[in-house]
Structure 1
Amino acid sequence: MIKELIIDSSPNGATIALLQDKQLVELHKEQISNNYTVGDIYLGRIKKIMPSLNAAFVDVGYEKDAFLHYLDLGPQVQSLLKLTKQVRSGGYQSKLLDGFKLEGDINKGGKISEILSKNQLIPVQIAKEPISTKGPRLSSDLSIAGRYVVLVPFSEAISISKKIKSNTERNRLRKVVESIKPKHFGVIIRTVSEGKGVDELQKDLLDLISKWELFITKLPSVEPSKKVLGEIGRTSTILRDILNPDFQHIYVNDNSMFEEIRSYIHEISPDMESIVRMHKHKEPIFEHFGVDKQIKGAFGKTVNLAGGAYLVIEHTEALHVIDVNSGNRTANKENQEENAYQVNKEAAKEIARQLRLRDMGGIVVIDFIDMHKPQNRKELFDYLRAEMLYDRAKHTILPPSKFGLVQITRQRVRPEMNIVTSEVCPTCNGTGTIRPTILLMDDIENNFNYILDEQNEKGITLVVHPYIQAYIKKGIYNRQMKWFVKYGQWIKVRSNPAYQITEFRFFSSKDEEIKL
């Protein structure tokens, strides 16, 4: 499997596309203004205790108070509160936990009012970003994630990913981590640690310890409801979690981000530094790699499949519903069962992709085409589970119900990726009527008079539909040549197949659109 990462950077952030065998499987948006990323640690202030919910509402600076449930406090929350109080009062000077006396674990069935009180300060970590009308979901069971390991303060436990099957390798990793981890810190060993040496694991662990030390350094002076320790950017997080030898290329269109990514990969996997490439083509990066076209085809209410079948995806506040339709795919009456099975398999593969692509979370109900053979139903269920193994989000798939419905619950930690694919016609602005096409050239030339004469722009580019570009460039003494004679400067003409037939735009020499 060939993986590629395409990163479209802009002043407002970056859009990150993950391609597997040239097919878009994940799309992420990293906004500069997003201050509530999963993994960020804030110094929260308890605003309200809700005994009926066994939870508290916490001020972390968001417009709505964040939610902290008793079960998300973590067993060692008393140690965290004690450390916070001592560090902020100057009573604890060490940056590690060697000389710190841990408190006992809290009762799993206890009450939050016994642990927290109004206006109390507590470090909390974003577990879910703000979604819809809800504020962030919090946890005070802090952890700091690295590429190979996760550091867990106030613990001595060493946990190993279940995906590492070899007992010999599990024992080796446990012994390595036991020899290098600091006192009163637990460690979770991630799947990518398999086969890694002591040097790599130690370097990753030391990086995480330095982050914890930064947290302790900032804790005394940080104001309540402010961020204490930030997670790395979405781009670096994706690279940290999924970078493996299957990656062939990482393309980026911004110099500063190119250097940042190359530097980060040099730290975590120096032998893969050469896969980072700078996109230098004139056309936009997503258009060049066909990502724009895939986004338009993959989002929206209806998703067409290659064999003629299609999915209808409906979103509600409580759940997502996916209906599988055979469309114009036909089969003999004797072969209806086999036809339904093949359509369902094709749909299952696309549904697994859609869940990752849209980052759909919560409850998903899938209505597959009815099949009568139990063996076919079982094989479809197994096939869907196999396709969902590529999904990094935690999920549970239930077998088909007696109505033939398959239910999936999928972890939701950030807002669903929702892209509107239908467009308001830029020519008629949704009115359904346009100016006569015979006047198109007059409209373009009237704008030339304004841009070139009144605004005195130089080196402009006209972008039109490919058909209009062909018309402008047709012949030796064509429209473009006439404009050169008339205006005394060469006007570049570029096509964009995404434009409507009568749509046109002007761009400056710096490739910035000229607003008319």
Structure 2
Amino acid sequence: MNKELIINAASTGVEIALLENKKLVELHHEKTDANFAVGDLYLGKVKKLIPGLNAAFIDVGFEKDAFLHYTDLSPYARSLLKFTQQCINDKSENSFDFSKFEIEPEIIKTGKINEVLSGKPNVLVQILKEPIAAKGPRLSCEISLPGRFVVITPFNDIVAVSKKIHSSEERKRLQKIVESIKFKNFGVIVRTAAEGKNTAELHEDMLHLLNTWKNIQKNLQNAVAPAKIMSEEDKTTSILRDLLTVDFNHIATNDKNIYNDTLNYILKIAPDKKDIVNHYNNGTAIFDHYGVTKQVKASFGKTVNLPSGAYLIIEHTEALHVIDVNSGYKSISNNQEENAVETNMEAAEEIARQLRLRDIGGIIVVDFIDMKLPDNKKRVQEAMENCMHTDRAKHAVLPISKFGIMQITRQRMRPEMNINTSEICPSCNGTGKVTSTILLQDEIEKRLHYLITHQHANLTIVVHPIVYSHLTKGLFFSSIVWQWRRRLKVPIKVKSNADYHLTEFHFFDANEEEIKF
């Protein structure tokens, strides 16, 4: 698969487009003043304990208190609280040696929030979900620091290897390497990207993450809650970290600093791919040059058209998203079942793309075109699962019900990407209604009567070209304008102006000055 990353830097922030085979599949927007991004670490202050919800509200500096549920506390919550307090009170120039830190007993899974956070202490927390709508951020105490090949988790000694590495031999090899080089008091999760990597590469990645942890310890010294302790890497770097593979073959940006940062990152993690990074300065907008703007405008409306003529209707409600699949004008055969299956298969691919592109989360209900045969329903379900295989967000696809409905759940991490592709109609100003042609003609005639009775002569009416055609159509002696001249016994001229909206008209006197009403 051909993958491209197009990075557009502007004064308001950075827009990042991910293209697969020239097709836009992900769009990210990193604002210049962005706060509370997923992965950021904060020193928070417990404000309220809610035993009924078994949760706490934490002040991290956002306008709404953040939410921390007991299930997000981590089994090592007591160790984290002890570590946080120890760092805050640490007065030494160099942070204490974390390898000598004494781990506290784990909390029980069925415990109560007020048993762990009694006294409303300060606690180190990580943003699990960004603020969405009226809700504050969702927090976790299960601190994790992601690298290119591994993720380290403090306060435990567990080593786990990604199940996406299918070879059992490779998983065993990576497990042995990591167990031999890991640091005390740190658990390690080996990522899929580590497949085939040697000991030196894994060790270098772990050293980089260890330095990050030391910086966290240093930033916690004398910190006063609420305070940001560490920001997640900028989105460009984090996307490269998570996505860079052998089929990632082009990165273009219009910003020199981002170009240098990206090139340095590529040289560090994949020096043989340095030539894929390009600094774009061609004059035209970078998104226009790579066709991103056109795809954005075509992909974010309520209606999404498919090549076969079929189309999707995407609606958002308070509780869920609803996607309706509608058949098109092309048919592959005279068999209704075959046509339904082919349209549904095409729709499944586009739906999977739309979920990634708009970053739609929560419950998604898809109303496919009705199919009678169970085997065909299973085919569409398998196609949906295959199309969503590359989606990094956790998701689940349920079988199609007897009503032709498929239910999908997708992890909601950030607010949904929503781009307005419509604008207010200049004719109706967004009301959805315009004056009918007959009523418009009557309105112009009434104003003509009024002006003539108030001693105005030699009038010129300026209207939209379509209205001009209506008023002057037919033979000269049968046109509406000629009838006005004969009935009112005054000279009347009509001119057209393409800048007017459809129902707009103005009157001008003999001196070409507009007559105001």
Match of 1:415 in 2: 415
Match of 1:138 in 2: 139
SS of residue in 1 equivalent to 2:99: coil
Between the aligned partners of 2:330 and 2:45, the Cα distance in structure 1 is 59
Between the aligned partners of 1:418 and 1:299, the Cα distance in structure 2 is 7
Match of 2:307 in 1: 306
Per the TM alignment, residue 67 of structure 1 is displaced from its structure 2 partner at its CA by 0.1
Between the aligned partners of 2:263 and 2:407, the Cα distance in structure 1 is 41
Verify the 8 A CA contact 2:95 2:218 in the aligned structure 1.
no
SS of residue in 2 equivalent to 1:57: strand
Match of 2:47 in 1: 47
Match of 1:320 in 2: 321
Match of 2:155 in 1: 154
Match of 2:490 in 1: none
Q: Percent identity?
A: 54
Per the TM alignment, residue 269 of structure 1 is displaced from its structure 2 partner at its CA by 1.5
Match of 2:511 in 1: none
The residue correspondences of 1:389-400 to structure 2 (distance < 5 A) are 389-400=389-400
* CA pair 222-89 structure 1, distance change in 2 beyond 3 A: closer
* CA pair 96-265 structure 1, distance change in 2 beyond 3 A: farther
Between the aligned partners of 1:318 and 1:165, the Cα distance in structure 2 is 37
Per the TM alignment, residue 328 of structure 1 is displaced from its structure 2 partner at its CA by 2.5
The residue correspondences of 1:70-219 to structure 2 (distance < 5 A) are 70-90=70-90, 94-219=95-220
Between the aligned partners of 1:79 and 1:175, the Cα distance in structure 2 is 27
Match of 2:224 in 1: 223
Aligned residue pairs: how many?
439
Per the TM alignment, residue 261 of structure 1 is displaced from its structure 2 partner at its CA by 1.2
Per the TM alignment, residue 118 of structure 1 is displaced from its structure 2 partner at its CA by 4.9
Per the TM alignment, residue 330 of structure 1 is displaced from its structure 2 partner at its CA by 4.4
Q: Deviations for 1:217-265, whole angstroms, at most 9, x for unmatched residues?
A: 1111222011001100111111000001111110101111111111122
Between the aligned partners of 1:257 and 1:39, the Cα distance in structure 2 is 21
Q: Which moved more, 1:61-70 or 1:421-430?
A: 421-430
Is 1:358 matched up with 2:341?
no
Match of 1:468 in 2: none
* CA pair 103-208 structure 1, distance change in 2 beyond 3 A: same
Read off the aligned partner of 2:330 and give its amino acid letter: R
Between the aligned partners of 2:425 and 2:277, the Cα distance in structure 1 is 38
Verify the 8 A CA contact 1:149 1:187 in the aligned structure 2.
yes
SS of residue in 1 equivalent to 2:335: helix
Match of 2:447 in 1: none
Read off the aligned partner of 1:280 and give its amino acid letter: N
Between the aligned partners of 2:259 and 2:229, the Cα distance in structure 1 is 27
Q: Deviations for 1:424-444, whole angstroms, at most 9, x for unmatched residues?
A: 3689976989x8789xxxxxx
Read off the aligned partner of 1:307 and give its amino acid letter: S
Structure 2: segments with no counterpart, 5+ residues: 436-461, 466-497, 501-517
Verify the 8 A CA contact 1:154 1:184 in the aligned structure 2.
yes
Verify the 8 A CA contact 1:95 1:213 in the aligned structure 2.
no
Per the TM alignment, residue 87 of structure 1 is displaced from its structure 2 partner at its CA by 2.0
Q: Deviations for 1:394-449, whole angstroms, at most 9, x for unmatched residues?
A: 0011111121111010001100000010123689976989x8789xxxxxxxxxxx
Match of 2:29 in 1: 29
Q: Which moved more, 1:83-92 or 1:255-264?
A: 83-92
Between the aligned partners of 2:209 and 2:499, the Cα distance in structure 1 is 56
Between the aligned partners of 1:387 and 1:402, the Cα distance in structure 2 is 22
Between the aligned partners of 2:199 and 2:427, the Cα distance in structure 1 is 63
The TM-score, its normalising length taken from structure 1, stands at 0.82
Between the aligned partners of 2:39 and 2:97, the Cα distance in structure 1 is 20
Is 1:344 matched up with 2:344?
yes
Read off the aligned partner of 2:278 and give its amino acid letter: R
Read off the aligned partner of 2:180 and give its amino acid letter: S
Q: Deviations for 1:113-133, whole angstroms, at most 9, x for unmatched residues?
A: 000035410000000000011
SS of residue in 1 equivalent to 2:98: coil
The residue correspondences of 1:358-377 to structure 2 (distance < 5 A) are 358-377=358-377
Q: Deviations for 1:331-367, whole angstroms, at most 9, x for unmatched residues?
A: 66x5000000000000000000000000000000000
Between the aligned partners of 1:212 and 1:426, the Cα distance in structure 2 is 56
Structure 1: segments with no counterpart, 5+ residues: 439-500, 504-516
Q: Which moved more, 1:50-59 or 1:109-118?
A: 109-118
Verify the 8 A CA contact 2:46 2:58 in the aligned structure 1.
yes
Read off the aligned partner of 1:196 and give its amino acid letter: K
Per the TM alignment, residue 168 of structure 1 is displaced from its structure 2 partner at its CA by 1.2
Per the TM alignment, residue 300 of structure 1 is displaced from its structure 2 partner at its CA by 1.1
Verify the 8 A CA contact 2:89 2:222 in the aligned structure 1.
no
Read off the aligned partner of 1:398 and give its amino acid letter: L
Verify the 8 A CA contact 1:95 1:217 in the aligned structure 2.
no
Per the TM alignment, residue 167 of structure 1 is displaced from its structure 2 partner at its CA by 1.4
Q: Deviations for 1:153-186, whole angstroms, at most 9, x for unmatched residues?
A: 0010001100011111111111111111110100
Match of 2:13 in 1: 13
Per the TM alignment, residue 329 of structure 1 is displaced from its structure 2 partner at its CA by 3.3
Per the TM alignment, residue 91 of structure 1 is displaced from its structure 2 partner at its CA by 7.9
Per the TM alignment, residue 317 of structure 1 is displaced from its structure 2 partner at its CA by 1.6
Between the aligned partners of 2:76 and 2:233, the Cα distance in structure 1 is 25
Per the TM alignment, residue 64 of structure 1 is displaced from its structure 2 partner at its CA by 0.1
Read off the aligned partner of 1:365 and give its amino acid letter: V
* CA pair 337-265 structure 1, distance change in 2 beyond 3 A: same
Between the aligned partners of 2:499 and 2:255, the Cα distance in structure 1 is 32
Per the TM alignment, residue 94 of structure 1 is displaced from its structure 2 partner at its CA by 4.9
Between the aligned partners of 1:114 and 1:2, the Cα distance in structure 2 is 52
* CA pair 282-91 structure 1, distance change in 2 beyond 3 A: closer
- Please report the RMSD computed on the Cα atoms of aligned residues, expressed in angstroms: 2.0
SS of residue in 2 equivalent to 1:36: coil
Verify the 8 A CA contact 1:46 1:117 in the aligned structure 2.
no
Match of 2:253 in 1: 252
SS of residue in 2 equivalent to 1:412: coil
Verify the 8 A CA contact 1:45 1:122 in the aligned structure 2.
yes
Between the aligned partners of 1:155 and 1:270, the Cα distance in structure 2 is 33
SS of residue in 1 equivalent to 2:125: strand
Match of 1:283 in 2: 284
Match of 1:241 in 2: 242
Q: Deviations for 1:130-167, whole angstroms, at most 9, x for unmatched residues?
A: 00110000001101011100010001000110001111
The TM-score, its normalising length taken from structure 2, stands at 0.82
Read off the aligned partner of 1:54 and give its amino acid letter: N
Read off the aligned partner of 2:109 and give its amino acid letter: K
Q: Which moved more, 1:82-91 or 1:342-351?
A: 82-91
SS of residue in 2 equivalent to 1:306: coil
SS of residue in 1 equivalent to 2:19: strand
* CA pair 436-259 structure 1, distance change in 2 beyond 3 A: farther
The residue correspondences of 1:449-488 to structure 2 (distance < 5 A) are none
Choose 1 or 2 for highest CA Rg. Answer: 2
